[in-house]
């Protein structure tokens, strides 16, 4: 069930693509992928979750139980929006301090319109 791999560096999106990044609950998109989402892809400052512009924020900073819930909400959303391709970045594995081994299994049931970072795909597949 090999998923498509998310590009390492995303600098532009096609009209049907959505940049999926790890956020904090307060939506302070000041670093890493969150900053990119805010500056380039329509993430809203102050919105720590959900679809805004061509970005989708997942709270990866409030602990693994919150991330588990957020990941399932995201998978449900992507399943309902098959017309979009969601480019999942390696959320939770930066300043949130989680490992790919902890986070990747949360996306085991991701539909094919979610691309996976190589580090997650190698664990899931």
Cβ atoms of 57 and 125 within 8 Å: the answer is: no
List the domain boundaries for the chain.
Answer: 17-124
Fold type of domain 17-124: 3.40.220
Neighbouring-strand partners of residue 2: none
Query: Is pLDDT above 90 for 40?
Result: yes
Query: Is pLDDT above 70 for 1?
Result: no
Query: Is pLDDT above 60 for 70?
Result: yes
Query: Is pLDDT above 90 for 72?
Result: yes
Long-range contacts of 10-16 (CB under 8 A, 24+ apart): 10/36, 10/87, 10/89, 11/40, 13/41, 13/54, 13/87, 14/85, 16/83, 16/84, 16/85
What tens digit of pLDDT does each residue of 86-109 get? Answer: 999 999 999 899 999 999 999 999
Cβ atoms of 54 and 20 within 8 Å: the answer is: no
């Amino acid at each position: 069930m090999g998923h498509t791999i998310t590009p390492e560096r995303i600098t532009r999106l096609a009209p049907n693509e959505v940049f999926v990044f790890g956020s904090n609950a307060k939506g302070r998109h000041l670093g890493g992928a969150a900053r990119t989402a805010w500056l380039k892809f329509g993430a809203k400052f102050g919105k720590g979750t959900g679809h805004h512009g061509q970005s989708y924020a997942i709270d990866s900073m409030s602990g693994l139980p919150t991330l588990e819930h957020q990941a399932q909400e995201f998978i449900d959303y992507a399943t309902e929006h098959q017309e979009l391709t969601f480019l999942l970045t390696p959320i939770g594995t930066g300043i949130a301090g989680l490992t790919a081994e902890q986070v990747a299994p949360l996306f085991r049931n991701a539909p094919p319109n979610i691309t996976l970072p190589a580090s997650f795909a190698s664990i899931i597949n």
